[in-house]
Structure 1
Amino acid sequence: MTGRMSSPSASLDYEQAGELKIGQVGIANLRVRTLDVTQLVREMRERVERAPKLFGRAAVIVDFGGLSRTPDPDTAQALIDGLRQAGVLPVALAYGTREIEQLAEQLGLPLLAKFRAQYEPVGASAGSGAAGGAVGGASAPTSTATADAPARQAVAAKAAPAQAAQIKAAPASKPGLVQKTPVRSGQQLYADNRDLTVLSTVGAGAEVIADGSIHVYGPLRGRALAGAQGNTDARIFCREFHAELVAIAGHYKVIEEVPKELRGKAVQIWLDQEELKIAALD
């Protein structure tokens, strides 16, 4: 189970109306998949009740890009108000379409396009809709896409050699960032476009983030977020696992979801078909 929270007394026997992903600096992105205000508010309240230290009064960006239609202002406002009552703080909308921009103005909320881009698949266009799995606005009509397909294929064939040359000429990623001293409570460490290696402890309340993988050679007690820009191949390795939260490409688990037999152990964490896996290291 990844990014899906339920009441401790109830099993997940229904499709989640909202998919929650954890981004940088502790901001959560709530991608609305089903516009059911009651269910969305209930799910968020359950998340807060289950992990109040992580989600209580957490900043949340609301993303309507997965819907076929932009909500009307009254429905969107009801959701914003409900999320506040559930214990989180909606701070912005994720940028998607012109209609989303107008909705943000009506709600008095800002747009955060850069945050949204972190969760789009590589190669996805800004106009991709829910059918394409992207966060963006509604997709183009099928008839137009079909009519333009031969032309797009011809352009792609001509551009392929140039694209290949660009890929070969692309600069290598930065060397990994090595942190020799402890990352203490309240501190945040970010490895931009590279892996992160911590030779000491990541304390409770601390946060380590990397666009690549994360290696912790001491106890991991805070939060570790790998693949921050959407790299699903990133992994987390630690020698002693006590993490409050771990995430890869936005898919997360909190400590309450981790089997007790893995706590305090050396583990590796990876993403397998959008499901976060945790296993002991041999």
Structure 2
Amino acid sequence: MAKAQGATVASFEPAGELRIGQVGIANLRVRTLDIDRLAAEMRDRVQRAPKLFARGAVVVDFGGLPALPDVATARALLDALREAGALPVALAWGSSENEQLAIELGLPLLAKFRAQYEPAGGAQAAEAAPAASPAERSRAAEAAPATSGRTGPAPAEAAALARGGEPGLMQASAVRSGQQVYAENRDLTVLAAVGAGAEVIADGSIHIYGALRGRALAGAQGNAKARIFCREFHAELVAIAGHYKVLEDLPADLRGKPVQVWLDGDQLKIAALD
């Protein structure tokens, strides 16, 4: 009898535990539908930073094109990207036609990546995107690009005010290889080191009081005013609002020094802290 009861209890336990988490996925915004050129650029990225991009998950976004490619052309692009060493895993959200293309390609749609490129509240975006939750609208407001002549707080600042000045996330222990820490809608402060193969992500700025040997991605929802600060710079990759540099692109004279990283227009800047 005891054995039968044990079997009954065990049958209620799931065979797999499914959770929704934050993942750092590269987003490829296609601006020129030249398959050979796109594949060559991806192959170059993989060769320059194989630990980051070899077999790396990529979301393909056709929103930069005047028209969607047909299924055969899109499939040829996905095959070329796979041959170059990347793994296309989804399409970025667009229109109903884009959704149909994703279905025919056997890929899911991910909505969040489009928010980093398109202004919130545009007519086309309103027609293309599904109804957003309050949290999604807040994130979209943070992602909207700056406009000249605007008065009042920036979208990210307005969202922070609406949240009542939500405090940043503090990580006291080291972030080890394979681990990821994500600060949603706030800054991230790491009091220890970020190890090689580890990843820290924040929608705001990132402050690291130990060595940065892994990856740091600030302004993850498109906040171009976010910054990265660290006491000892050995990063595999740093990124702000999607603009990134890998180890091979980083100034050798800054390695091991205290630095800050910020965006100047579309240029990622890195400089030593005084």
Shorter-chain TM-score: which interval? 0.7 to 0.9
| Counterpart position of 2:259 | 267
RMSD of the alignment, in Å? 2.0
- The letter of the residue matching 2:260 is Q
1:50 is aligned, of 32, 44, 48, to 48
SS at 2:100's partner residue?
helix
| Cα distance, 1:170 vs structure 2 | 2.1
- The letter of the residue matching 1:280 is A
| Counterpart position of 2:117 | 120
| Cα distance, 1:167 vs structure 2 | 7.8
| Counterpart position of 1:39 | 37
Indicate if the aligned counterparts of 2:218 and 2:227 stay in contact, CA closer than 8 A.
yes
- Taking structure 1 as the reference length, what is the TM-score of the superposition? 0.75
2:199 is equivalent to residue 210 of structure 1? no
1:135-146 pair list within 5 angstroms? none
2:163 is aligned, of 168, 171, 190, to 171
- The letter of the residue matching 2:268 is L
SS at 1:35's partner residue?
coil
Q: How far apart, in 1, do the equivalents of 2:159 and 2:104 lie?
A: 42
Structure showing greater relative contact order (alpha-carbon pairs closer than 8 Å, 6 or more residues apart)? 1
Indicate if the aligned counterparts of 1:173 and 1:194 stay in contact, CA closer than 8 A.
no
| Cα distance, 1:70 vs structure 2 | 0.6
Q: How far apart, in 2, do the equivalents of 1:43 and 1:177 lie?
A: 36
Q: How far apart, in 2, do the equivalents of 1:206 and 1:94 lie?
A: 26
- Taking structure 2 as the reference length, what is the TM-score of the superposition? 0.78
Structure 1 segments, 4+ long, off by >6 Å, are 166-169
| Cα distance, 1:120 vs structure 2 | 3.1
SS at 1:54's partner residue?
helix
Count of residue pairs brought into register by the alignment: 224
| Cα distance, 1:99 vs structure 2 | 1.4
2:258 is equivalent to residue 245 of structure 1? no
> More deviation in 270-279 or 119-128?
119-128
2:269 is equivalent to residue 277 of structure 1? yes
Residues 61, 122 of structure 1: alpha-carbon distance in 2 compared, 3 angstrom cutoff: same
- Unpaired runs of at least 5, structure 2: 1-21, 130-157
Residues 168, 114 of structure 1: alpha-carbon distance in 2 compared, 3 angstrom cutoff: closer
Q: How far apart, in 1, do the equivalents of 2:175 and 2:159 lie?
A: 36
Indicate if the aligned counterparts of 2:160 and 2:166 stay in contact, CA closer than 8 A.
no
